[in-house]
Amino acid sequence: MKNNLLKIMRELWISIAIIHQTDGKGDKKMKKIVATLFLMTSFLSLADIILDSSNTKPAINEPFNIQVKFINEDKKDYKIEGIENLQILSKGTQSKYSYINGEKTNEKIDSYTVMANEIKTFPLSVSITGKNEKSNTLNIEVQKESVQNISDDMSVETSIKNGDSFYFGEKIIYEENFLTTVNINSVGYSRVPQFNDFSEKDISPVITKGGYEQSYFRAPSGKQGLKLGIYRGILQPNSSGEKTIKSGQMAVTQSTGRRDFFFEETTPPKYFGGNNIKINILPLPTDKPMGFQNIVGTPKIDYSWNSDNISFGQSIVLNVKIFGDANLDSLEKVITTQFNDFNIFESLKSTDEKVENGKYFAEKTFEVALIPKKSGKLTTPEIKIPYFNTKEKKYDFLIITPKKIVVNGNGSISTTQPTPTTPTISNTTNNTVSNTTQPLEEIKIDSIAVEEKSQSKNNNLLIIGLITLVIVEGIVIVYLLTKKDKKSSLDDINALKSAKDDKEFYEAYCHFMKRKYNFSPKVHLEDRLVKLGFSNDFIELNRELESAYYNNTPIDRKDIIIRIKKELRNEK
């Protein structure tokens, strides 16, 4: 448009020049026309800053693109006013040159993939930092969430659906899988799942196994597909009522089939997921039985006795295993009441928690020693362990039936301590005490006091010595661990310095991040860096390094090393 106007203005200039040559009159009038045209030409020849969008009426959680274009001028520092209303998913930069009717146009473009997280209307515009220059204004109107329909080739599957119900205290397994019947280049989270008012234990395959879990499936179309386990977690609601789980948003790229000398080109990322899943957490009934230890689910019990015939003074041992799809976190004891005929000593032997075939599984084993208080034929009382059955929707009991045992020998254990008696001294007729007895008693008492005092002092010295030893050992261990970590970090820095090319440098960087922070730049997205507490400068460093590596542009290795060293110093 602007180029066309400039062409028209040039033609007007030529026409005016011809008229001026054929008619020398009206110089003053001509000067006014020339000045006006000069100002108009100068205005039209100014460079443009244009803000463009692929969609001005996007749905909530629907990714779309915006572009900031600098036409016929160098790119300047700028601010996108209104961008705080959008989540930036990715950013790219490109330059374009074109010739139209002999006129050269130079464009420098910043492209953003963004997404709105709430329904609202707001303006977007670009302003140049420190200057009174602005772009055009776009009015963004965010619509209601659209129904997700990815494609027949790719889909996202969640283990929990809208409207599902669970009980308070129940352990909930939540999984997100990506299903595809076509080849993909990469898949990962641009935003991880969000669980408000839930306790979460992340046991995703990428954490427990170092990579996505893979299996095959048959699509309705008959095609065989690949299923990738992206997320798996154990959730426990913190309260009852309606809850919202925001599913993770996945970024997927495919291969274009084209490749340069080193790398295969990929398509721009497509974003799937990010939906709200509303579930209902039901409260437990109020008629809780005595001894309820917040066991919720469908547990089972196995138990065994080591004997049914013992001697008096020995113990009979009960081994108990409680297991199944149940929350056993608060289970501390098998027996919560006192037995009349037995003293009870109980210990927790082992505990386990995992997911098997998409279902929650927990297990606890206990060892209970029962020592009879008397001999003869005895029977242990029935042991009842209350729990809330989520299938039957009522309280129930795990039961250990009574056990008949024979206690051989004679004796009994009193449950009360005998009251000590105070010895008395009877007066003799002469009312005299031997002179040799009294001093001996005094010497004996004094020697006991000195002995007890000496023993106490020795114990104190022993305790002080042990505490000192523990402190010294702790300092040595911390020193050795710190020294080892410093040496490893120094080795990583040396590997970065000695890299022969950008590819080797990037591989050394990936090794450093994986070893020190359990972060793989090739697998994880930068939201994980935020969770790990990295500075904005280091997150930008990671972004620049990945962009340079995958776009095959030179990496400023010295600058990267300096910034990594700075981050390591800030950790101290």
pLDDT above 80 for 392: yes
pLDDT above 90 for 54: no
Mean pLDDT of 497-520: 85
CB neighbours of 71 closer than 8 A, spacing ≥ 6?
47, 48, 49, 50, 105, 106, 107
Residue type, 361: F
pLDDT of residue 259: 65
pLDDT of residue 423: 40
Q: Torsion-angle region of residue 176: left (phi > 0), alpha (psi -120 to 50) or beta?
A: beta
Split at pLDDT 50, 70, 90, the class of 16 is low
pLDDT above 70 for 143: yes
Q: What percent of the chain has pLDDT over 70?
A: 75
pLDDT of residue 242: 95
C-alpha–C-alpha distance, residues 395 and 140, integer Å: 54
pLDDT of residue 240: 93
pLDDT of residue 446: 41
Q: What percent of the chain has pLDDT over 90?
A: 36
Query: What tokens appear for 54 in the block?
Result: 């692929």
- In DSSP terms, 49 is beta-bridged to 70
pLDDT above 50 for 269: yes
pLDDT above 80 for 36: no
8 Å CB contact between 215 and 165: no
pLDDT of residue 353: 94
pLDDT of residue 412: 67
Mean pLDDT of 37-41: 49
pLDDT of residue 407: 94
Mean pLDDT of 103-128: 87
pLDDT of residue 99: 67
pLDDT of residue 44: 42
Positive or negative CA dihedral for 331, 332, 336, 342? Answer: positive
Split at pLDDT 50, 70, 90, the class of 315 is very high
Count, in order, helices (H) and strands (E) of the chain.
Answer: 8, 30
Mean pLDDT of 141-158: 71
Mean pLDDT of 268-284: 90
Element (H, E) at 349: strand 342-356
Strongest mean pLDDT among 146-155, 261-270, 477-486:
261-270
Residues forming CATH 2.60.40.10 domain(s) in the chain: 48-141
CATH of domain 154-282: 2.60.40
Answer with the residue of higher pLDDT: 391 or 19.
391
pLDDT of residue 427: 40
Q: What CATH class does 48-141 carry?
A: mainly beta
8 Å CB contact between 232 and 354: no
pLDDT of residue 231: 94
Answer with the residue of higher pLDDT: 59 or 26.
59
pLDDT above 90 for 194: yes
Residue type, 359: K
Where do we find the tokens 């030529």?
Answer: 14
Split at pLDDT 50, 70, 90, the class of 377 is very high
Mean pLDDT of 15-39: 52
Question: Residue 523 carries which DSSP code?
Answer: T
pLDDT of residue 260: 61
pLDDT of residue 190: 85
Where do we find the tokens 């904005």?
Answer: 536
Answer with the residue of higher pLDDT: 1 or 534.
534
Strongest mean pLDDT among 191-205, 419-433, 471-485, 527-541:
191-205
pLDDT above 50 for 266: yes
Mean pLDDT of 509-531: 76
pLDDT of residue 270: 82
C-alpha–C-alpha distance, residues 84 and 125, integer Å: 12
pLDDT of residue 482: 57
- The SS3 call for residue 498 is coil
Where do we find the tokens 């004891």?
Answer: 333
Q: Calculate the average pLDDT of the chain.
A: 79
Exposure string for 252-284, b = 16+ CB within 10 A, e = fewer? bbbeeeeeeeeeeebeebbbbbbbebebebeeb
Please determine, looking at this structure, whether the domain spanning 296-412 carries the CATH number 2.60.40.
yes
Mean pLDDT of 417-438: 38
* C-alpha distances out from residue 257 to 187, 248, 264, 266, 269, Å: 17, 28, 7, 8, 15
Mean pLDDT of 446-467: 58
Positive or negative CA dihedral for 4, 9, 10, 16? Answer: positive
pLDDT above 90 for 391: yes
Answer with the residue of higher pLDDT: 144 or 358.
358
Split at pLDDT 50, 70, 90, the class of 160 is very high
pLDDT of residue 418: 40
